[in-house]
Structure 1
Amino acid sequence: MQNVINALRVLEEVAARQPIGVGELARELGLPKSTVQRSLRTLNEAGWIRPAGGEVTRWQVTSKALQIARTTELGLRDAAMPVMEELRQRTGETIHLMVPEGDAVVLIERLETDKPLRIVLPLGIRLPLHASANGKAVLAHLRRPAGTLLGYTGTTITDPDALRAELDGVLARGYADNRGEWRSDIAAVAAAVLGPDGPVASLSVSTPASRMPEPLRAEYGKLVTQAARTLTESLG
């Protein structure tokens, strides 16, 4: 059983940090190199990972692993769409569904506002965990470091202690917000969709910054928290 657990941990780490070598994997996981090497060999033989090339062998996931992720993603989208539509109807704003992937969240679905002034993010865009509402909603439940805290605007949180305090606030009120921290023209509130082992996605209400004054921020925060809870329950 421990061998299976080790292999799954190695697969998760490869997916999060690919391409990655055995030495770095061993350090990140706190496992002996020999244990990691056995797991890599097993995963490679089973078709889940492959060498990324180069003089030093580094590993990345194969299309087999990605296909499983896509199948899971489709199920998440199907469950999320009615919840997202209701949230859009109640707010009149753009709704985003994002999933965690390594040090970012990735946009996999959106429902746009009917209002002429809108900010459109392309599907597949990656947003930093520490500088987006969706990212902070996820990061608060991961309870792990966010990596390098790059500054994107004047309001980006780049101090680790300030970020920890911010994440404590997210857990206390149930939702995260973004005050122009990734792009100064975007405001958002987001809440995590939780699975048995932590956050599997996040839902957000996203608007131009001028369209989210404080009273609406709090109102939208409550609505997105309710929506994320409903989606969590529907996923079982």
Structure 2
Amino acid sequence: MQNVINALRVLEELAGRQPAGVGELARELRLPKSTVQRSLKTLYEAGWIRPAGGAVTRWQVTSKALQVGRRAELGLRDAAMPVMEELRQRTGETIHLMVPEGDAVVLIERLETDKPLRIVLPLGIRLPLHASANGKAVLAHVLAHQERPLAELPGYTDTTITDPAALRAELAEVLARGYADNRGEWRSDIAAVAAAVLGSDGPLASLSVSTPASRMSEELRAEYGSLVTQAARTLTATLT
């Protein structure tokens, strides 16, 4: 059983760092190099990883892992759709479902507003964790479960939070009120509120209400924040 657990830990760590070698993985996981090497050999033989650039000293995840993830996303979408539809009906705005992937959140489903002025984001787009409502909703819970340093934070607009201390303070507020908001921090024309969908080990996804910045008043921000928090809790309960 421990061999299986070690292999899964190596796979998870590799997915976040790929391409990576034995030494790097061993240091991060605090495992002997021999243990990591055996796990990599098992994962390679099972088709989960392959040499990066043909060099067996560094490894990356294969499409097999992505296929399993896509099947999991389909289950998440199925559970999320009725919750998203109710949220769209109650707000009249665009609803996004995103999942965490490395240092970003990825849009996997959306329900668009009927209003003529709207923001349309393509499925598969990646948004930065620190500069989007969905990202901050996820990151707040990630940091609540595990302490980790915040890397250099790039700016996208004048309102992007780039100071790590300021971001941590913002994420503490996210946890306290239950939802994150975006005040034009990724694109100045977009405003949003988002809440995390939680699993036993942390955030699985996030739901958001997204609007043109000109339409998000402070009153609506609070109202939509409450609604998206309720929706995320409903989806969390459905999945668990």
Structure-2-length-normalised TM-score: 0.94
Q: Which runs of 5+ in 2 are unaligned?
A: none
- Determine if the alignment matches structure 1 residue 178 to structure 2 residue 182: yes
Q: Distance in 2 between matches of 1:92 and 1:2?
A: 50
Mapping for residues 123-202 of structure 1, pairs under 5 Å? 123-143=123-143, 144-202=148-206
Residue 26 of structure 1 deviates from its aligned partner by 2.3
Partner of 2:209: 205
Cα deviations by residue, 1:188-236 (Å, 9 ceiling, x for unpaired)? 0000001111110000000011110111100000000000000011112
State which drifts further: 85-94 or 150-159. Answer: 150-159
Instruction: Look up the SS of the partner of 2:20 in the other structure.
Output: coil
The count of corresponding residues between Structure 1 and Structure 2 is 236
Instruction: Look up the SS of the partner of 1:115 in the other structure.
Output: coil
1:234 to 228, 233, 238: 238
Identity fraction in percent: 88
Residue 17 of structure 1 deviates from its aligned partner by 2.3
Q: Distance in 1 between matches of 2:81 and 2:50?
A: 34
Q: Distance in 1 between matches of 2:150 and 2:137?
A: 12
Residue 25 of structure 1 deviates from its aligned partner by 1.8
Partner of 2:113: 113
Residue 131 of structure 1 deviates from its aligned partner by 0.7
Q: Once superposed, what is the RMSD of the aligned Cα atoms?
A: 1.3
Partner of 1:61: 61
Q: Retained in 2: the 8 A contact 1:130–1:146?
A: no
Q: Distance in 2 between matches of 1:5 and 1:104?
A: 26
Residue 29 of structure 1 deviates from its aligned partner by 2.1
Could you say if the C-alpha distance between residues 234 and 55 of structure 1 is closer, same or farther in structure 2, counting changes exceeding 3 Å? closer
Residue 9 of structure 1 deviates from its aligned partner by 1.1
Partner of 2:122: 122
Mapping for residues 2-81 of structure 1, pairs under 5 Å? 2-53=2-53, 55=55, 57-81=57-81
Instruction: Look up the SS of the partner of 2:107 in the other structure.
Output: strand
Q: Distance in 1 between matches of 2:150 and 2:82?
A: 31
Q: Retained in 2: the 8 A contact 1:139–1:146?
A: no
1:221 to 225, 232, 237: 225
Tell me which amino acid in the other structure corresponds to 2:67.
Q
Instruction: Look up the SS of the partner of 1:58 in the other structure.
Output: strand
Instruction: Look up the SS of the partner of 2:57 in the other structure.
Output: coil
State which drifts further: 184-193 or 16-25. Answer: 16-25
State which drifts further: 85-94 or 16-25. Answer: 16-25
Q: Distance in 1 between matches of 2:75 and 2:201?
A: 18
Q: Distance in 2 between matches of 1:234 and 1:145?
A: 33
After TM superposition, the runs of 4+ consecutive aligned structure 1 residues lying more than 4 A away are: none
Instruction: Look up the SS of the partner of 1:205 in the other structure.
Output: strand
Q: Distance in 2 between matches of 1:127 and 1:99?
A: 10
Q: Distance in 2 between matches of 1:100 and 1:146?
A: 16
Cα deviations by residue, 1:64-99 (Å, 9 ceiling, x for unpaired)? 211110110000000000100000000010000000
Q: Retained in 2: the 8 A contact 1:103–1:147?
A: no
Q: Distance in 1 between matches of 2:174 and 2:14?
A: 29
Structure-1-length-normalised TM-score: 0.96
Q: Which runs of 5+ in 1 are unaligned?
A: none
Could you say if the C-alpha distance between residues 70 and 146 of structure 1 is closer, same or farther in structure 2, counting changes exceeding 3 Å? farther
